């Protein structure tokens, strides 16, 4: 594996990668990977984790990107 380049990628591209994942409320997996094309960088593989948040008595699930690597 190469260097983690997640901090070098702009937010809209991270958001685009997270939108390619299935609904966090319905999935069973806690970790997923997705690959998208990022301008200037090229193909990037994002490793994403499913998280749970709470607001009062309500719980919700969402995906967050934890690592990103350039695909050679």
The total domain count for the chain is 1
In this prediction, residue 36 carries a pLDDT of: 97
Is the pTM of the predicted complex or chain greater than 0.85?
yes
pLDDT in tens, 26-64: 988 999 999 999 999 999 999 999 999 999 999 999 999
Beta strand segments in 1-72, E = 31-38, 42-55, 58-70
Q: Give the domain range for residue 37.
A: 6-64
Is 33 part of a structural domain of the chain? yes
CA atoms within 13 A on the CB side of 45: 10
1 pLDDT more than 80: no
**How far apart are alpha carbons 3 and 56 in whole angstroms?**
38
Is 22 contained in some domain? yes
Cα–Cα distance, 21 to 62 (Å, whole number): 10
Give the gyration radius of the chain's Cα atoms.
13
């Amino acid at each position: 594996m190469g260097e983690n380049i997640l901090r070098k990628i702009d937010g809209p591209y991270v958001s685009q990668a997270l939108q390619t994942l299935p609904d966090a409320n319905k999935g069973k997996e806690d970790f997923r990977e997705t690959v998208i094309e990022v301008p200037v960088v090229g193909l990037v593989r994002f490793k994403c984790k499913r998280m749970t948040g709470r607001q009062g008595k309500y719980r919700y699930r969402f995906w967050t990107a934890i690592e990103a690597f350039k695909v050679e």
